[in-house]
Chain A
Amino acid sequence: MADVKKFPYASEVVLPPELEGWEEMYPPQRLFSKDREAWENKHFWYQDKIHAPEPMYPLDDIFQEAWQISLSQFTTRVFCIPPAQGVAQRMLGCYMYITAVEPPPPEVIAEKAEHFQKRVFYVFENYDALWDKWLEKFQALGREMESLKIPKEFDKYVPDSEIFPAPRGYTQAYEIIEAFNTIISQIFKAWQYHFEYLNLAYLGYLMFVDTARKLFPGIKESTIGKMVAGAEVSMFRPEEELCRLSRLAAGQPPVAEILKKSIPADKKIEELKSIDAGRVWLEELERIKNPWFFVSCGSGWYHFEGSWTNKMDVPFSYMQSYVERLEKGERIERSLTAISEERDRIVSEYKALIKTDDDRKSFEDAYKVVRTIYRYAEDHLFWVEHWLHTIWFEKIREFGGLLVKNNVLKKTDDIFLFNRFEVPMLLEDLATAWALGEGAPTRGKFWMEKAAKRKKILDAAREWMAAPGLGVPPEEVSEPFTVMLWGVTTDKVAEWLKGSETASKDVSEIKGFASSAGVAEGPARVLKLLEDVVKLEAGEIMVSPCTNPSWAPVFTKIKAAVTDIGGLTSHAAIVSREYGLPSVTGTGIATSVIKTGDIIKVDGSTGIVTIVKRA
Chain B
Amino acid sequence: MAEKWIYWLKEVGQEDNNVVGKKCANLGELTKAGFHVPPGFALGVEAYSRFMKETEATDLLLKFLDTFHADPNNVADTLKYEEASNAMRALVESVKMPPDMEKTIKEYYAEMCRIAGCENIYVATRSAGPMSHPGQYETYLNVSGADDVAFNVVRVWSSTFNTRSVIARARLNLPLHYDPIGVAVLTMVDAKAAGVMFTVNPVNGDESKVAIEGSFGYGEAVVSGNVTPDRYLVDKITLEIDEKVISDKGSEFIYNPGTKEMEYIDLPPDQRKRQCLEDKEVLELTRLAKKIEAHFGCPQDVEWSISGSLPFPESIFLVQARPESVWGKKKKESVLGKKSGMELLFERATTPIKLKI
| Residues of chain A whose beta carbon lies under 8 Å from any beta carbon of chain B | 5, 81-84, 103, 109, 113, 116-117, 120-121, 124, 203-204, 206-207, 210-211, 214-220, 222-223, 226, 345-346, 349-350, 353, 355-356, 358-359, 361-363, 365-369, 473-478, 483, 488-490, 493-494, 517, 605-606
Interface 9-residue window, one of B60-68, B256-264, B310-318, B327-335: B327-335
In whole Å, how far is B241's beta carbon from the nearest beta carbon of chain A? 7
Q: List residues of chain B with CB within 8 A of the CB of A218.
A: 201, 204, 206, 208-209, 233, 235, 242
B349 part of interface (Cβ distance < 8 Å): yes
Any A CB within 8 A of the CB of B4: no
Shortest distance between the CB of A497 and any CB in chain B (Å): 8
Interface residues of B in 336-357 (CB under 8 A from A): 336-342, 344-357
Whether A346 and B336, one on each chain, are in contact in the complex, defined by CB atoms closer than 8 angstroms, is no
Cβ contact within 8 Å between A353 and B342: no
Say how far B197's CB is from chain A's closest CB, in angstroms.
15
A372 nearest CB neighbor, chain B only? B341
B11 at the interface (CB under 8 A from A): no
Look across to chain A and name the residue whose beta carbon is closest to the beta carbon of B346: A117
Find out whether the CB atom of A474 lies under 8 angstroms from the CB atom of B355: yes
The reply to whether B334 and A356 form a contact with Cβ atoms under 8 Å apart is: yes
**Highest count of chain B CB atoms <10 Å: which of A207, A361, A606:** A207
> Which of B339, B340, B341, B350 counts the most chain A CB atoms within 10 A?
B341
A194 to chain B, nearest CB (A): 20
Q: Contact: A353 with B207, CB < 8 Å?
A: yes
A215: B residues at CB distance < 8 A = 335-336
Across-interface contacts of B204 in A (CB, < 8 A): 217-218
A116 and B336: CB pair below 8 A? no
Question: Closest approach, in angstroms, between the C-beta of A232 and any C-beta of chain B?
Answer: 22
Q: Which residue of B lies closest to A369 (CB)?
A: B341
Alpha-carbon separation in the docked complex, A572 to B355 (Å): 27
**A120 with B345: CB separation less than 8 A:** yes
A282 to B56, CA, bound (A): 100
A58 to B352, CA, bound (A): 35
Of A113, A369, A490, A605, the residue contacting B342 (CB under 8 A) is: A369
Whether A214 contacts B335 by the Cβ 8 Å rule is yes
Closest to B240 in A: A517
Across the interface, do B238 and A476 meet the contact criterion of CB distance under 8 Å?
Answer: no
Q: Tell me if B335 and A203 are in contact (CB < 8 A).
A: no
User: B291 at the A/B interface (Cβ < 8 Å)?
Assistant: no
Q: Which of B205, B335, B349, B355 has the most CB of A within 10 A?
A: B349
Give the most central of B201, B240, B352: most A CB within 10 Å. Answer: B352
User: Beyond the given A81-B349, A211-B336, A349-B237, could you list 15 further A-B residue pairs with CB under 8 A, ordered by the A residue number?
Assistant: A109-B350, A116-B346, A210-B347, A217-B201, A217-B206, A226-B238, A350-B208, A353-B236, A355-B207, A355-B332, A359-B335, A362-B336, A362-B344, A363-B336, A365-B341
Contact residues in B for A483 (Cβ distance below 8 Å): 353
Contact of A203 among B207, B334, B349, B356 (CB under 8 A): B349
- Can you report 10 A-B residue pairs in the complex whose CB atoms are below 8 A from each other? A116-B349, A120-B349, A218-B206, A218-B235, A220-B240, A223-B237, A362-B338, A369-B344, A477-B353, A606-B244
In angstroms, how far is the closest chain B Cβ from the Cβ of A516? 10
CB proximity of A79 to chain B, nearest CB, Å: 9
Whose C-beta in chain B lies nearest to the C-beta of A493?
A: B357
> B235, A220: Cβ atoms under 8 Å?
yes
List the A side residues contacting B347 at CB < 8 Å: 207, 210
| A-binding residues in B (CB < 8 A) | 201, 204-209, 233, 235-238, 240-242, 244, 332-342, 344-357
Contact status A490-B357, CB under 8 Å:
yes
Cα distance A365–B344 in the bound complex, in angstroms: 9
Assembled-state Cα–Cα distance A517/B282 (Å): 14
**Which residues of chain A have C-beta atoms less than 8 A from B338's C-beta?**
358, 361-362
Among A361, A363, A478, the residue within 8 A (CB) of B352 is A478
Report whether B241 and A494 are in contact in the complex, using a CB–CB cutoff of 8 Å: no
Contact call A605/B244, Cβ cutoff below 8 A: yes
Q: How near does chain A come to B302, taking the closest CB pair, in angstroms?
A: 18
Report whether B345 and A369 are in contact in the complex, using a CB–CB cutoff of 8 Å. yes
Give B85 Cβ to nearest chain A Cβ, in Å: 44
Residues of B within 8 A of A214 (CB): 335-336
B244 to chain A, nearest CB (A): 7
Beta-carbon contact of A223 and B336 below 8 Å: no
The listed residue (A124, A219, A489, A605) touching B208 by CB distance below 8 A is: A219
Closest Cβ–Cβ distance, residue B82 to chain A (whole Å): 45
Q: Is the interface of B mostly helix, strand, loop or mixed?
A: loop
Q: Are A359 and B353 in contact (CB under 8 A)?
A: no
- Inter-subunit contact A359/B355 (CB<8 Å): no
Give the residue name and chain of the A residue nearest to B332 (CB).
A355
Q: Which residue of chain B has the shortest Cβ distance to A357 in the bound complex? A: B334
What is the bound-complex CA distance between A202 and B208, given in angstroms? 25
Q: Within the complex, what minimum Cβ distance (angstroms) separates A485 from chain B?
A: 14
**Contact A210 to B357, CB < 8 A, known contacts A346-B237, A363-B336, A366-B341:** no
CA distance A88 to B340 in the complex (A): 33
CA distance A361 to B353 in the complex (A): 25
Please state if B345 and A476 are interface contacts (CB–CB under 8 Å).
no
- Compute how far the CA of A341 lies from the CA of B344 in the bound complex, rounded to whole angstroms: 27
Q: Are A83 and B206 touching (Cβ within 8 A)?
A: no
Q: Flag if A216 contacts B208 (CB, 8 Å).
A: yes
CB distance from A165 to the nearest CB of B (A): 62
For residue B338, which residue of chain A has the nearest CB? A358
Interface contact A211-B208, CB-CB below 8 Å: no
One of B208, B238, B340 near A365 (C-beta < 8 A): B340
Chain B residues contacting A345 (CB-CB under 8 Å) are 237
CB of B355 within 8 A of CB of A473, answer yes
- B342 close to A358 (CB less than 8 A): no
Query: How many Å from the CB of B210 to the closest CB on chain A?
Result: 11
Q: Are B342 and A121 in contact (CB under 8 A)?
A: yes
Q: How far is the CA of A370 from the CA of B209 in the complex (A)?
A: 24
B336 touches A476 (CB 8 A): no
User: For residue B353, which residues in chain A have a CB less than 8 angstroms away from its CB?
Assistant: 476-478, 483
Q: Which 3 A-B pairs give the minimum distances between C-beta atoms?
A: A369-B341, A365-B341, A207-B348
Chain B residue with Cβ nearest A494: B357
User: Cβ of A124: which chain B residues have Cβ within 8 Å of it?
Assistant: 342, 345
Distance in Å: Cβ of B8 to nearest Cβ of chain A? 35
Alpha-carbon distance between A483 and B48 when the two chains are bound, in angstroms? 65
Residues of A within 8 A of B348 (CB): 203, 206-207, 210
The CA of A490 and the CA of B340, in the complex, are separated in Å by 29
Bound-complex Cα distance A145 to B357 (A): 46
- Please give the distance in Å from B332's CB to the nearest CB on chain A: 4
- Across the interface, which residues of B come within 8 angstroms of A346, CB to CB? 237-238
Interface centre among A81, A362, A363, A367 (most CB of B within 10 A): A362
Interface contact B352-A103, CB-CB below 8 Å: yes
B280 to chain A, nearest CB (A): 13
Q: Which of A359, A367, A490, A606 has the most CB of B within 10 A?
A: A359
CA separation between A549 and B338, bound complex, in Å? 39
Q: Is the CB of B237 within 8 A of A350?
A: yes
* Neighbouring B residues of A81 by C-beta, 8 Å: 349
Q: Is the CB of B357 within 8 A of A362?
A: no
Query: Do A113 and B350 touch (CB < 8 A)?
Result: yes
Q: A475 CA to B242 CA in the complex, in Å?
A: 28
- Quote the shortest CB–CB distance from B342 to chain A (angstroms): 6
Instruction: Note all chain A residues with C-beta closer than 8 A to B355.
Output: 473-477, 488-490, 493
A595 and B236 alpha carbons, distance in the complex (Å): 39
